[in-house]
Structure 1
Amino acid sequence: MLDFIIDETRCIQCGECAADCPVSIIDMDGGLPRIPEHRESYCIGCQHCLAVCPTAALSILGKDPDQSARILPPSPGALENLIKSRRSVRRFSPECVDGKVLDRLMDVVAHAPTGKNQRNLRFTLVDDRDVMEEIRVRTMEGIRKAVADDSLPDGMEFFAKMVAPYDQGRDIIYRKAPHMIIASAPRDSAAPDADPFIALSYFELMAHSLGLGTVWCGFARWALQSVVPELGRALGIPADHRSMYAMMFGYPAVQYARTVQRDVSGVYRVCLADLEGGR
């Protein structure tokens, strides 16, 4: 049941909910919005109708519109600075991130868009520093054994070069970060290759705003998928999840003073001549 409820004392019959519904299942027959029973199964649970209602007259899926935050867009300058000042952090403090901060991060990442609004991502969160250390140790044990057995997967021979630095106290894979988050998606999702990356992009920007550091970690992804897959399975990542990516995070042990300077490249502006030539 969609539990689609209209507060008639608030509804101004503007029709915005019907006009904005992505799957066009809301109609205004009789003046008030309604969803015919035979259309309910087409709802994707996006809550656009709740969000667009100017008078908070509409409830769906048991959600109280009065509990939704008002939209307060950040200034373009502040958002631009946040994006431009984000750095890949590879020096972390051993201090664990406070649980309330982690809860806030996960609440925000739940709002990341997914294909067809399926929202079936799995977030594998390592919020315990001791667990993170065990992952670090077991990863290196697996790499060390693969090197000894000459069984590193083709194209991943570079992992062999990480053993000596690790023995000297350098963690090239996990960067001694106290935490890790892995986003993964089922292979039969609408957009399994894109959804994890979109979610982690939301995660890292919110983390940056909270004073945390993050680093996208391809080494961890490859290690957990191909070198020590048994460890990846032990982390609870479902076998049918086709796409995954890992991100290390925690309080940074480095503070950057300014943004960098980059030139825009790779932009191709399409003109009418391009379209005419493709006929």
Structure 2
Amino acid sequence: MIDFNVDSARCTRCGQCVADCPSRIIVMATGEYPSIAPGKEFSCLRCEHCLAVCPEAAISILGFSPDGSTPLKGNLPETDQLETLIAGRRSVRRYCPENLSPELIDKLITVASCAPTGVNARKVRFTVLDDREKTAHFRDEVMERLVRLLEEEALPESKAYYARFVKVWQKHKIDLVFRDAPHLLIATAPKSLSTPRQDCVIALTTFELYAQACGIGTLWNGIATWAIEEMLPEMRQRLGIPDDHAFGYAMLFGKPAVRYARTVQHHPPEIYRVP
């Protein structure tokens, strides 16, 4: 059941919910209030467009009331500020040796979960190491196994450059893989979805931008991603990632030990305008 309800004291029968429903399952006969067409509940995408578009906050659905939502008017960032946030994003490789609060980590992930997904599947799973000691212990396990691969000459040919990371770790205990970050976030999604990896990348992009707005540093960690996904499948199991999940990407995050003062400059993007 999708629990579609209309507050008749608020509804003006403007028809916005009918016009904006992606599945075209909301109907409104003359003189009546909006309702779900008989037998069409199964076609609901659970997108909540009807709740969001109603100017009078008259529609509730899926157990959610519009009174629990934030009005967009007056609450959106200025365009110049958003542009600076995007242009000022940096990959952070230096972190303070301290945990973020559990409340902040939960908030970051909750906001990231608002990211769009294919057919509104909303099945992205966030696996998080929420304590720096957990992250360091996991890092040590990964590096131990990479050392073993190197010693056994078992590094894949395409990943031969990992030898440098391993040797620097062995000789100097310098962490070039996890960068001594206090936290690690991995996004995965069921392989059965139409767009599992894309859903994960979009969610992590959302996570990164909101994290930056909160003063939190992030790093898209391809080195850890390929190590866990392709070279050390036992570490995937160690993290409790389901076998039927596609591995989206790994992201480091934490309080940055560096502060960037300005945006950088790029050459104009390559744009092809279709004639």
Question: TM-score under structure 1 normalisation?
Answer: 0.95
Is residue 51–residue 57 contact of structure 2 (8 Å, CA) maintained in 1?
yes
- From 144, 154, 161, give the equivalent of 1:141: 144
Residue of structure 2 in register with 1:276 after alignment: none
Output the CA distance in 1 between the equivalents of 2:205 and 2:240: 22
Structure 1: which 5+ residue stretches go unaligned? Answer: 272-279
Q: Secondary structure at the match of 1:111?
A: coil
Is residue 18–residue 33 contact of structure 1 (8 Å, CA) maintained in 2?
yes
- From 91, 115, 118, give the equivalent of 1:115: 118
Is residue 25–residue 40 contact of structure 2 (8 Å, CA) maintained in 1?
yes
Residue of structure 1 in register with 2:29 after alignment: 29
Output the CA distance in 2 between the equivalents of 1:243 and 1:268: 32
Q: Secondary structure at the match of 1:193?
A: helix
* Aligned AA (1:237): I
Alignment of 1:205-224 (within 5 A): 205-224=209-228
Residue of structure 2 in register with 1:83 after alignment: 86
- From 250, 269, 273, give the equivalent of 1:269: 273
Output the CA distance in 2 between the equivalents of 1:109 and 1:95: 22
Output the CA distance in 2 between the equivalents of 1:224 and 1:77: 39
Identity of aligned residues (%): 45
Residue of structure 2 in register with 1:189 after alignment: 193
Output the CA distance in 2 between the equivalents of 1:227 and 1:160: 13
* Aligned AA (1:85): G
* Displacement of 1:265: 2.6
Alignment of 1:1-279 (within 5 A): 1-30=1-30, 31-71=32-72, 72-167=75-170, 168-271=172-275
CA deviations on 1:41-83 (whole Å, 9 max, x unpaired) are 0111110100001111100001011010111221110100100
- Per mean C-alpha deviation after superposition, the further-off stretch among 224-233 and 10-19 is 224-233
Output the CA distance in 1 between the equivalents of 2:98 and 2:17: 46
Output the CA distance in 2 between the equivalents of 1:149 and 1:164: 14
Q: Secondary structure at the match of 1:137?
A: helix
* Displacement of 1:165: 1.4
* Displacement of 1:263: 1.4
Is residue 153–residue 226 contact of structure 1 (8 Å, CA) maintained in 2?
no
CA deviations on 1:86-110 (whole Å, 9 max, x unpaired) are 1000000011111121121112111
* Aligned AA (2:20): D
* Displacement of 1:243: 3.5
Q: Secondary structure at the match of 1:155?
A: helix
* Displacement of 1:228: 1.6
Output the CA distance in 1 between the equivalents of 2:38 and 2:177: 53
Cα root mean square deviation, aligned: 1.0
Is residue 142–residue 227 contact of structure 1 (8 Å, CA) maintained in 2?
no
* Aligned AA (2:51): L
CA deviations on 1:200-256 (whole Å, 9 max, x unpaired) are 000000000000000000001011012221011110111112242000000000011
Is residue 229–residue 247 contact of structure 2 (8 Å, CA) maintained in 1?
no
Output the CA distance in 2 between the equivalents of 1:267 and 1:117: 29
Q: Secondary structure at the match of 1:185?
A: strand
Q: Secondary structure at the match of 1:49?
A: helix
CA deviations on 1:99-148 (whole Å, 9 max, x unpaired) are 12112111211110000000011111110111101110000011011111
CA deviations on 1:171-199 (whole Å, 9 max, x unpaired) are 11110000011011211112123111100
- Per mean C-alpha deviation after superposition, the further-off stretch among 73-82 and 184-193 is 184-193
Structure 2: which 5+ residue stretches go unaligned? Answer: none
Is residue 21–residue 50 contact of structure 2 (8 Å, CA) maintained in 1?
yes
Question: TM-score under structure 2 normalisation?
Answer: 0.96
